[in-house]
Amino acid sequence: MQIESPLTGVVAEVLAAEGTGVRAGAAVLVVEAMKMHHEVVAPAAGVVRELAVAVGEQVAEGQRLFRVEAGAAAEAGAAAREADPAADADDDAHAIRPDLAELLERRRRAQDDAARPQAVAKRHATGLRTARENVADLCDPGSFNEYGALTLAAQRARRSLDELIEKTPGDGIVTGVGTVGGRRTAVLAYDYTVLAGTQGIRNHRKTDRLLELAERHRLPVVLFAEGGGGRPGDTDSSELFHLVVPSFHTFARLSGLVPRVGIASGRCFAGNAALLGCCDVVIATPEASVGMGGPAMIEGGGLGSFAPEEVGPVSVQEPNGTLDVVAADEAEAVALAKRVLSYLRADALPDWTCADQMLLRDAIPADPKRVHDARALLATLADDDSVLELRPAFGRTVITAFARIEGRPLGVIANDPRHLAGALDADGSDKAARFMQLCDAFGLPLLSLVDTPGFMVGPDSERTAAVRHTSRMFLTAATLTVPFLCVIVRRAFGLGAQAMAGGSLHAPAITLAWPSGELGAMGVEGAVRLALRGELAAIADETEREQRVQDLVAAVRAQSSALNAATYFELDDVIDPADTRMRLVQTLDATPVPPPDPASGRRRTLVDAW
């Protein structure tokens, strides 16, 4: 069997001399061309014959080099093993080359928590998990594909390479793409065990790379935001102030395009907090401190000395609306992040159960002045264990929650009569308007459960800029693209009721009321006392006057009942409360969620941070 040169070059090495036995695939010659070495191999086991070239000799493509004499296979094999002792080794017992060994060791030091036992022990002593433990818990097993694991901090001017490998793996952030509940998701986890999770030069590059992938491929984002903000210690840069950083612009540009869930545990300050504040849903653990500047920055600004725990603790950030949900610990925070993403992907769950809907018949007390438990009502109406409330300690006049009905996710806004009688104040209006934006951006139908005396009024209310804040509900509702459904469970008075109904009782896809429903320009008793002020003042006897008020209230209440309003077609229907789920599902079947704009991939330009 004649063997020819596969290319033009120079013989660089002769590996098997004339008469040498070789095995199939063994290299006989090496030809060098363009500084690259090309092996010429034996196509079958045999003996090398007629070797016609020597080292340094020029050969041409197609030139005869040698012949392999087949036969005498046993002798050839023995000669091959003598020439190549490694042939006796098991095929799977390959030695690891030095370059591969170096890579494997570097990856171990970069990606294995066990390689940094002291840092991990210190982290666990705080009761918190490492970044990699959180990522592993979030992503489906084996699905996380890391980007930039071998990155090191930009500090070569003042640290040795070995020190950087030891102390700055990943430059303080773990980034990659995994699946969460089967859906590809971009994950960024600041690593507090590395330079306090601060944002360095290459750390930002990793962030930008992943966020650009999220934008390009429409990937949801989960951000573990703990960290101390910008890092002043990086030296390997030509920039002066490090203000040319795309990360904040890139992350903000994802608003309304893909869901972004942020998790804060421990200390989250400055740049880390800025990214957290851009998230659609913010989850925190009890020990978290979140602030736009940490203690060093505060003290440097001459504003006093504070412990980290005094700067934006949960006790401050939960009631002021910064946090959407407070979890018991990081494990629950991760579970909540998965749950939020399950709503925002707008997929229905095939298996569901619900409470006996006959219970809704008694959800509203017969006494019109007795408050009802709006959360219990929603829990009964929705699928079992499907309600997730956001910002419960802020804007307490309104409940905002994700829920499911027959497995379908939707957003719910509901007046809470236990706070300000369910009147819409500035905070409650901001909370409801922002939640409507969030649901609209990601294709969740909205359900409004109405029991309100209207907008909050009075000098104290006006000091909160109520005129502008409450108007956000009208503006947002008028620009919704998703189906909006309204159920009046009791009071629907004034402009507040119109706001809860999307601006008008005929704005929703359907407006239903329960028999307990009352409609009017304002509360019945207040309307009577205001409209008939003169007549009532003329009644001298107080008992007689109050009896007259009650008689008039009863008469007006009969006129303002939902059943009477339906005769004027101010409502689409008055229904048995037990039929509410059925009517909602029928309406959702008839009003599918429209797709986002094909060019931009969006339904809304952005979801407001507030």
Looking at the structure, tell me whether residues 43 and 191 fall in a common domain.
no
**CB-based contact 31:37 (threshold 8 Å):** yes
The pLDDT value given to residue 74:
40
Give the model's confidence band at 244: pLDDT under 50 very low, under 70 low, under 90 confident, else very high.
confident
**Residue 539 falls inside a structural domain:** yes
Domain with 370 in it: 352-517+561-590
Alpha helices in 301-329 (DSSP H): 314-317
Looking at the structure, tell me whether residues 54 and 133 fall in a common domain.
no
The pLDDT value given to residue 259:
97
The Cα 75–Cα 68 span in angstroms is 14
Looking at the structure, tell me whether residues 554 and 565 fall in a common domain.
no
The pLDDT value given to residue 89:
45
Looking at the structure, tell me whether residues 217 and 138 fall in a common domain.
yes
The pLDDT tens digits of the residues spanning 492-545 come to: 999 999 999 999 999 999 999 999 999 987 666 666 666 677 777 777 777 877
**CB-based contact 40:6 (threshold 8 Å):** yes
pLDDT at residue 118 tops 60: yes
**Residue 595 falls inside a structural domain:** no
Q: What angle do CA 322, 324, 330 make, to 5 degrees?
A: 105
**What would the two tokens of residue 246 be?**
């795309």
Looking at the structure, tell me whether residues 157 and 239 fall in a common domain.
yes
Q: Tally the domains of the chain.
A: 4
Strand duo 573-574 + 510-513: pairing: parallel
List the end-to-end C-alpha distance of the chain, in Å, as a whole number. Answer: 79
The pLDDT value given to residue 57:
95
**Residue 420 falls inside a structural domain:** yes
Question: Which CATH number fits the domain that encloses residue 139?
Answer: 3.90.226.10
Q: Which of 296, 313, 343 is the last residue of a domain?
A: 343
Q: Annotate 473-499 with DSSP letters as a single string.
A: HHHHHHT--S-EEEEEEEEEEHHHHHH
Q: What mean pLDDT value characterizes the chain?
A: 92
**Residue 96 falls inside a structural domain:** no
Q: Which of 303, 325, 343 is the last residue of a domain?
A: 343
Query: What is the mean predicted confidence (pLDDT) over 107-116?
Result: 95
The pLDDT value given to residue 213:
98
pLDDT at residue 90 tops 50: no
Looking at the structure, tell me whether residues 390 and 506 fall in a common domain.
yes
Looking at the structure, tell me whether residues 39 and 170 fall in a common domain.
no
The pLDDT value given to residue 247:
94
Looking at the structure, tell me whether residues 162 and 307 fall in a common domain.
yes
The percentage of residues in the chain with a pLDDT greater than 70, rounded to a whole number, is 93
pLDDT at residue 80 tops 50: no
Query: What is the mean predicted confidence (pLDDT) over 468-484?
Result: 96
Query: What is the mean predicted confidence (pLDDT) over 63-91?
Result: 61
**Residue 549 falls inside a structural domain:** yes
Q: Which residue has the tokens 């008039």?
A: 552
Quick one: DSSP state of residue 308?
Answer: G
**What would the two tokens of residue 580 be?**
């509410």
**Residue 241 falls inside a structural domain:** yes
**Residue 95 falls inside a structural domain:** no
The pLDDT tens digits of the residues spanning 266-315 come to: 999 999 999 999 999 999 999 999 999 988 888 888 999 999 999 999 99
Looking at the structure, tell me whether residues 550 and 482 fall in a common domain.
no
Looking at the structure, tell me whether residues 286 and 430 fall in a common domain.
no
The pLDDT tens digits of the residues spanning 315-327 come to: 999 999 999 999 9
The pLDDT tens digits of the residues spanning 536-591 come to: 777 777 787 777 777 767 776 777 899 999 999 999 999 999 999 999 999 999 99
Looking at the structure, tell me whether residues 54 and 113 fall in a common domain.
no
Looking at the structure, tell me whether residues 147 and 50 fall in a common domain.
no
Q: Which of 288, 311, 343 is the last residue of a domain?
A: 343
pLDDT at residue 64 tops 90: yes
> Which of residues 1 and 104 earns the better pLDDT score?
104
The pLDDT tens digits of the residues spanning 157-214 come to: 889 999 999 999 999 999 999 999 999 999 999 999 999 999 999 999 999 999 999 9
Query: What is the mean predicted confidence (pLDDT) over 93-117?
Result: 91
**CB-based contact 449:417 (threshold 8 Å):** no
